[in-house]
Structures are given as structure tokens and as C-alpha cells.
Amino acid sequence: MDIAVEEIVEKLRRQIAQRRSDGDYPLGLEAELEAEFDGVLAAMRRHEVGTSALVERVTALRTQVDEIGVGTATTSNIPGGALIHKVVGRVVGRQTNGLAADVRLAGHEAAAAMAEVIRLFDAQRQADERQLVEVVSSVIDRLAVIDQLISAVNQIERRLDAIEVSAPSSSRSNDD
């Protein structure tokens, strides 16, 4: 879901400027709204830590873990060295294969745990984004209510002015 927050904010700023010039907003309202918007925008523009570097490290860990215990080269520049390397490799391999399997298993479990951390980070970021959308929607709803209230107050003032104009002059002097 792609939200054009900057576009919404710009539209609201244009409406505020128009209403400010028309004298529709009471004193202090503009400062209060700007402070609330600044808080929302500051929260939205935080530079959060991403998970891409962690994903790369988990992938590298899995690759390295898979290579644990893979046979070593048996070539040698020394005559007969290749045969010695091959024999020693078999003897040592027999003793270390179980250990290598245990280390691979532990490495895969560590990679799985890190993958779960990535999933949790991503889920938290999505929850934060949903919450931010709710806050922005709430602010927009408040602005709509304020708009309606301003419109109603202006309408009431016009009606009062019309009543005062149409009222006999004697009743106006009694009110003074």
C-alpha cells in the first residue's frame, strides 16, 4: 500500500493557507495542528534499521555451514604426498565427520534463528507502518471535524448577523 503522504500534507497546507487568509481559523489552532503534523512526519521519516544486511549474513552463514566437513584437496608437489594426504584425510575424516555434522546442524539452527529475527523485524516494521497510517488518518479526521465546526460557526455568525440586521433598532439599543 503506497500512501502519498507528502501530497496529502501539501494539499492540507494549501487549504490551511487559504483558510488562514480568509480568517477561518481561531488563534492557536494553526500552531497546534502544525505541531501535531511535525510529530507525525518526524515519526514517519525516522531512518530505521533495515534487514537487508542481516539477510545477506544469514545467506552467507548457510553457505559456509554447508561447506563444513567437505573433503580437502589431496594433491601435493611432493612425490607420494598425494597418497599420504588421502590416507590421513580418511583417518581424520572418520574421526571428525560426526563433529562436522553436529557443527553443520548448529550452524543451520543459528541461521534459522536469525531468519526468525529478520521475520520479527519485518513484522514490527509493518505494524509500525499500519500504526502510522492510523495516526495520519486520525489527524485527517480531526481536520475534517474542525473544518465542519468552522463552517458551522461561520454559518451561525452569518445567521446572527442577518438577525441583527433584520431586528428593529429599538431592540438593538436595549442589548447595548
CA distances from 118 to 35, 50, 94, 105, 106 (A): 34, 9, 37, 20, 18
Mean pLDDT across 75-101: 81
pLDDT of amino acid 109: 92
C-alpha cell recorded at residue 114: 536469525
| Mean pLDDT (whole number) for 32-39 | 76
What percentage of the chain carries pLDDT values higher than 70? 85
Q: What is the pLDDT of residue 112?
A: 92
Question: Is pLDDT above 80 for 71?
Answer: no
Q: Is 167 left (phi over 0), alpha (psi -120 to 50) or beta?
A: beta
* Residue 60 grid cell: 552467507
Dump the DSSP string for 72-120. Answer: PP---SSTTHHHHHHHHHHHHHHHHHHHHHHHHHHHHHHHHHHHHHHHH
> How much is the mean pLDDT over the chain?
79
Q: Closest Cα partner for 34 from 52, 13, 54?
A: 13
Is the pLDDT higher at 101 or at 21? 101
Lowest mean pLDDT among 19-28, 88-97, 121-130: 19-28
Does 103 or 8 have the greater pLDDT score? 103
Global pTM exceeds 0.85: no
pLDDT at site 169 = 66
Residue 10 cell numbers, joined: 501539501
Which pLDDT score is estimated for 46?
A: 62
Give the angle subtended at the CA of 140 by the CAs of 10 and 31, to the nearest 5°: 70
Mean pLDDT within 17-21: 76
**In this model, does residue 176 exceed pLDDT 80?**
no
Cell of 99: 563433529
